[in-house]
């Protein structure tokens, strides 16, 4: 890391929690924003485009639906939504990400646990690889349920740990070994790209994640995995 950068991981490699996590993650995303999309292509070996398409398709909403991209970052999913005929709006708490975003839609700086939208005003919510970065995931699910109309759809992509032992080992070598090295070389930020693979530890186990979505007011909560189980897609319908 360059001089003046704060670390998101503790000196002993521990993950932050509470308000410390909130501030550390915000600062981290502010500084990695300029290289964020390029690094996503590198880390995912170009598969992130396919994963995002699957998430948008899983909404199963009619054209011109109003879809919120939660933690929109630099606008990848916003562009995918617009390309498929939806009306997108993006929300992110990182000013740096929003400044670097290129999206054909309104972008709002806001907290996922206190969304600046009226109740039942949104047709769909998508979220790309951000669940693990929220401090209170239950509060975020509750807010998504509040802003979605009855019958509205929720779809969230995030990392996962493969069940098969060999795939699990390969996943660990790539994401915990190669990704931090690539982050140091291409983004000049090894700390951020050491945090991102390790942050999967924040995610509840699959059954607990689906139960949390159900308790927030979603029916038909379901989970699919891609790329050998290293990526998961969580979906639900607002009841």
Q: Residue 1: pLDDT above 80? A: no
Mean pLDDT score of the chain: 94
Q: Where exactly are the structural domains of the chain?
A: 18-238
Tell me the mean pLDDT in the region 140-157. Answer: 98
- Do β-strands 231-238 and 218-226 pair in parallel, antiparallel, or remain unpaired? antiparallel
**pLDDT of the residue at 133:** 96
The per-residue pLDDT for range 157-213, each reduced to its tens digit, is 999 999 998 988 998 889 888 999 999 998 889 899 999 889 999 999 999 999 999
| 187 DSSP β-pair partners | none
Lowest mean pLDDT among 68-72, 140-144, 193-197, 216-220: 193-197
Tell me the whole-structure pTM to 2 decimals: 0.94
* Helix orientation angle between 36-43 and 18-32, rounded to the nearest 10 degrees: 100
Tell me the mean pLDDT in the region 86-115. Answer: 97
**pLDDT of the residue at 75:** 97
C-alpha distances (whole Å) from 100 to each of 33, 44, 73, 93, 105 are 6, 20, 8, 13, 14
| 87 DSSP β-pair partners | 66
Rg (CA), the chain: 17
The CATH code that applies to domain 18-238 is 3.40.50.150
């Amino acid at each position: 890391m360059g001089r003046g950068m704060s670390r998101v991981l503790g000196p002993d490699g521990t993950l932050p929690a509470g308000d410390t996590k909130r501030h550390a993650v915000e600062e981290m995303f502010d500084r990695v924003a300029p290289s964020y999309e390029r690094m996503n292509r590198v880390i995912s070996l170009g598969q992130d485009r396919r994963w995002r398409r699957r998430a948008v398709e899983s909404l199963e909403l009619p054209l011109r639906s109003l879809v919120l991209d939660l933690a929109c970052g630099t606008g990848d999913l916003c562009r995918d939504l617009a390309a498929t005929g939806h009306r997108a709006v993006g929300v992110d708490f990182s000013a740096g990400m929003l400044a670097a975003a290129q999206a054909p839609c309104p972008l709002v700086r806001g907290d996922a646990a206190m969304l600046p939208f009226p109740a039942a005003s949104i047709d769909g919510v998508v979220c790309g690889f951000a669940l693990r970065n929220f401090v209170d995931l239950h509060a975020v699910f509750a807010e998504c349920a509040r802003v979605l109309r009855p019958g509205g759809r929720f779809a969230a992509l995030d990392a996962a740990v493969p069940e098969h032992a060999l795939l699990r080992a390969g996943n660990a070598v790539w994401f915990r070994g190669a990704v931090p090295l690539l982050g140091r070389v291409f983004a000049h930020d090894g700390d951020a790209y050491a945090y991102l693979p390790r942050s999967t530890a924040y995610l509840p186990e699959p059954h607990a994640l689906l139960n949390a979505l159900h308790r927030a007011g979603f029916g038909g909560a379901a989970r699919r995995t891609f790329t050998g189980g290293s990526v998961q897609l969580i979906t639900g319908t607002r009841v």
